[in-house]
Chains A and B, each alone.
Chain A
Amino acid sequence: MSKRGIATTALVVAALALLFAAAFALRDQAVGIDTAHWMGSPLPPCFEDAKACGGHLLGTDPVGRDLLARLIVGAAVTAAGCLAVLIVEAIIVLAAAAVSRAGKIARYAIARLAEALSAFPAWPLLIVVAFGFRLSLVGLVAASLVAPAAIRIAILRPTVRSFADRAAKDAQRIVVLLSTLGFFGYGTQPPTPSLGNMLAGAQQNFDVGWWTVVFPAVTLFAVVLSIEVLRRLGLRRGSFPAPLGVPVR
């Protein structure tokens, strides 16, 4: 691995460690209601009203829980979910790669299965699974739905660079998928925050307090953008595995 790749990996590990440590420290604050200050409506951020904010830097959510703590814990929960799905995806890709070594028929079957999986619209199918089956199956199905591109790489062009690029793209996709699921009320359930469930009911909450919607949305955008920036940093010197716009073959 290149020096740039090692540095990017170290940066990711350090950022995740810091995020999980902060989330562990703030876990009680994220679910506890500030009964001393909350008067039935969300407290504003300190930069908007220093007297009314009750010491909550970014204000509180509609039921009086510290928004900053919830954002940190929510980001950690989303990151943990994303890592779990990525690990399951890696296992699926390894299994597919191993099976495809068995011969032409196995390779053909794996390629067709990957193609079939990639034909489903992802979040609607995940909602169906979350709705009709056990929630624990969602991670497995999410991993299966994002795995096809990585399976194609494993079959056709297995290089560290192409896998790293794919993993970053899949991480972005998984974060958005899990958040969409949370937004519709599936996945992580309140009071435990996730970036998706904090945005549930956003259209109603916006009238009550804009910060209860804007900060989670900006955090989610920042998470996805950070992954994109890290992906580009890590792969800057070499070419991308496929020219932009051309499907992986």
Chain B
Amino acid sequence: MNEVDPSTRFGRFVAAIVTLAMVAFLTAILVGFHPIASWNEASLDLGTRLFPSLELLATALAIAVPIGFALAALKARGGGSLLAPAIDGSITVLRCIPFFVLVSALSVVAGLRLGYFENANPWSGNLIVPAVVLALFALPGVAQFDFFAKRPPWRTIALGCRCIAERLPQLIAAQFLVEIFFAWPGEGHAFITAIQMGRLGLIAPIVFCSAIAVVLLRLLVSILTTDSGEPAVV
């Protein structure tokens, strides 16, 4: 088994290939009994919706990471004061609110207060509102990351990337919710539309592609951090 030892770059690559094969197998079992109606239709649908999804995800992370870092810094500096437990408590409370409840409530607020769903309103279709809501999901994870442990900065970045890669499936699931409630034209919106239309054939590529994206990103992070001194994720 030395040649597939996951602590080496080659081993991680082989592990990712095996994992991809298993993802394909599991997708076939769970979704794939329903044949894909049309590859053209599926690929066109995925292709047009991929960019808005990536745009939303990237914006949410761009919002969550600096705010999370600031909260972590405040928490670290507020050692003996009430600030640290206050931030910790707020993060815990935010983490315990079921995300579908939060998104549902915030979509109502955005609709009523900002007129988000009205075409004539400048907020309509705006990226910032759904991105801020998605950032609320990512924020607890970022804020609880130990940015200030004694280690080189590049290793902190490597560990941070690895954490995001580990939590990516939850982030994608949260993104689906945001896209559904805010009518954002991404993969999540396509997913719920396909469910409502009873077209499981269109769902298989969405689930499969999101799982593949997660495995590939994990592989990328894993390969880039091979020499970070951290042992491989088995």
- Chain A residues in the interface with B (C-beta under 8 A): 104-105, 108-109, 111-113, 115-125, 127-129, 131-132, 141, 152, 155-156, 172, 175-176, 179-180, 183, 199, 202-203, 206, 217, 220-221, 224-225, 228, 243-247, 249
Distance to closest chain B CB from A173 (angstroms): 9
The reply to whether A245 and B141 form a contact with Cβ atoms under 8 Å apart is yes
Closest 9 CB pairs of A and B: A245-B145, A116-B22, A121-B173, A119-B214, A119-B211, A225-B96, A247-B166, A224-B96, A121-B172
Contact of A225 with B93 in the complex, beta carbons under 8 Å: yes
Distance in Å: Cβ of B73 to nearest Cβ of chain A: 14
A246 to B232, CA, bound (A): 12
Determine which of B22, B25, B33, B176 lies in contact with A124 in the assembled complex, contact meaning CB atoms within 8 Å. B176
12 contacting pairs across A/B (C-beta < 8 A): A115-B218, A116-B19, A122-B170, A131-B200, A155-B234, A176-B100, A199-B100, A202-B104, A217-B101, A243-B149, A244-B145, A245-B145
B19 lies within 8 A of A112 (CB): yes
**Helix, strand, loop or mixed for chain A's interface?**
helix
Q: In the complex, how many angstroms separate the beta carbon of B219 from the nearest chain A beta carbon?
A: 10
Distance (whole angstroms) from the CB of A217 to the closest CB of chain B: 5
B55-69 Cβ-contact flags toward A at 8 Å (1 or 0):
000000000000000
Number of A-B contacts (CB under 8 A): 149
* Complex partner residue of A206 from B30, B108, B162, B173, CB under 8 angstroms: B108
B203: A residues at CB distance < 8 A: 124, 128
Q: Is the interface of B mostly helix, strand, loop or mixed?
A: helix
Total interface residues on B, using CB and 8 Å? 62
**A113 neighbours in B (Cβ, 8 Å):** 22
Contact with A along B138-155 (1 / 0, CB 8 A): 000100111001000000
* Cα–Cα, bound, A175→B191 (Å): 22
